[in-house]
A and B are shown apart, each in its own frame.
Chain A
Amino acid sequence: MKTTTMTDPVLELVGVSKHYDGFSLRDVTFSLERGYIMGFIGPNGAGKSTTIKLILNLVKKSGGQIRLFGLDHIEHELEIKDRIGFVNDDNLYYEDLTVREMKNVVRGFYSKWDEGAFSRYLKDFNLPSDKPIKQLSKGMKMKFSLAIALSHNAELLIMDEPTSGLDPLVRNELLDILQTVIEDGDKSVFFSSHITSDLDKIADYITFIHNGSVLLSMTKEELLEEYCVAKGGREALAALDRGKLIGVKEQAFGFEALARREDVAGTGAGIVMEKPTLEDLMLYMTRGGTGHVASR
């Protein structure tokens, strides 16, 4: 029987695919080590939610392997689900039940439920115990999901667009909480979002998906070091190999594009190289519709 070790990646996808009528997820491969936050970014419709549904076995994959804590996600489905917490963008919990009632329904299924932790989160988040869930604001609903997700000693938190529709204050609170979660180095977070400014700050790893394919998966450090936003005049553009530029946008006075620093540095001609944000990454890589990573 396969046993899990602390050195296994907490989440691992290899060649995962899923075919729908209008859309396919192809050859999705990436992994997340213990103790880190992975930002899963991509424009709407890129396949983020589908990927998460595949991980949780809510839909059946067409091919590939998915492992959590070193265990196959279908063979050990129950054990895995006992060890993960999840937060969705639309509330999954029964709207008619109160916070307390819903908690009591859920707690019975987790082997390591921590009532003390839940009470603390209720207090910290200011969640009213006896209010029906449908009466909570969107931000409160997300906090409720989070409180549940963090109250059963979960080792991996899977979050599917948890911040959409939330104001910056709540989003900031969430980031703080997530960084506290990984502070002991034992827990990990998988955070999918199309609002990249949140991940700009705290993500350790970034996996970028577009049109059903993973375009890149690496540490944010490597990403920022490898890529830059190149800006320059039109003559500068002429001096560059266009094949190496991603998402080129030409304007009256010049151009801007995403590129590998090594492809642009040293060509002189007054090209400015700026640190890209994740939003830049998304914008340039998806410009033109197909999205691609420039050939080496």
Chain B
Amino acid sequence: MLHLVKKDLLLQKKALPIVAVSLLFFAVAFSGAGSVGLVISTLALGYMLVYDAGLREDKSDGNKLLACLPIRKSTVVLSKYVSVYLYAALILIGNAVVRLAAVGLGLEHYTFPITLEGAVGAMAALTVIFSIFFPLIFKLGFLKSRTINMIVLFVVVFAGTWVLSAVAERTGVNPLEIEPGPGVAFVMAAAVLALLVGSYFLSLSFYRKREF
């Protein structure tokens, strides 16, 4: 399975410069967003990376190749889910590097901070978003699902930020800065995990039925 993840990375050799530039761009663009900056950056760049690898693969009929090789469909699906977290780790490191450089150069208010809440939030948001994306991707392929998923991404990000700021205005409290109690945190984590697992099985069932 790791071969597959490595393959996705190899496929993106060309995209890396663009991703690096985008990373910088988001770091600056959302510098005012505080911890949330990391979440947005992770979501956007995660989407870019997953889709770049996926589109390149679809273009070369990569799925057909994988279907001809002795690889379990479950392995293929799993590798895509795993790759998301690999990208998240890379994005985190990238942002951390940018932040450190900014701090070192005295430009820290041009980038957003790296915080634990931000990292956890980024992972959670990524998990939720891709749990929604992947079943569609495995059913329709990257090409056909791109438009729908892009819309979903925008809706979630903007609606999400709108809802959060609305709540913050009404109650005077920024929901993102509330430290959830361990009970709530546990429930939230379990929900996200359940969503992830459900998504995996749905993706697998769609992928198994696909014809190449």
Contacts and interface: CB of A to CB of B under 8 A. Distances in A.
Given A58-B211, A105-B3, A105-B10, A94 B62 contact: yes
Interface in A72-97: 78-82, 86, 90-97
A57 B67 contact: yes
Given A94-B62, A109-B70, A110-B69, 20 more contacts: A57-B67, A58-B64, A58-B68, A60-B211, A78-B72, A79-B70, A82-B70, A90-B61, A94-B7, A94-B56, A94-B60, A94-B65, A95-B59, A95-B60, A97-B10, A97-B11, A101-B10, A105-B3, A105-B7, A106-B69
Interface of B is mostly: helix
A257 B129 CA distance: 66
A120 to B, nearest CB: 22
B208 to A, nearest CB: 10
Interface in B164-185: none
A56 B67 contact: yes
A110 B71 CA distance: 9
A58 B70 contact: no
A96 B67 CA distance: 19
Interface of A: 53, 56-60, 78-82, 86, 90-97, 101, 104-106, 108-111
B69 A53 contact: no
Interface residues of B, number: 25
A101 B11 CA distance: 10
Interface string B42-86: 000000000000001101111011011111100000000000000
8 contacts: A81-B69, A93-B65, A94-B65, A95-B60, A96-B56, A105-B7, A106-B69, A110-B70
A90 B60 CA distance: 10
B69 A58 contact: no
Contacts of A79: 70
Nearest to A97: B10
Contacts of B7: 94, 97, 105
Contacts of A80: 70
A96 B14 contact: yes
B127 to A, nearest CB: 27
A56 B68 contact: yes
B144 interface: no
Contact of A78 (B6, B14, B70): B70
Contacts of A97: 7, 10-11
Contact of B67 (A58, A108, A110): A58
Contacts of B14: 96
B3 A94 contact: no
Contacts of A93: 60, 65
Contacts of A86: 68
B65 A92 contact: yes
Given A60-B211, A92-B64, A109 B57 contact: no
Contact of B11 (A58, A90, A94): A94
Chain A CB count within 10 A is highest, among B4, B7, B13, B57, for B7
B57 to A, nearest CB: 7
Given A58-B212, A60-B211, A95-B60, A105 B6 contact: yes
Contacts of B60: 91-96
Nearest to B62: A94
B69 to A, nearest CB: 5
A109 B3 contact: yes
Interface string B21-57: 0000000000000000000000000000000000011
A107 B209 CA distance: 26
Contact of B13 (A53, A96, A105, A108): A96
A51 to B, nearest CB: 14
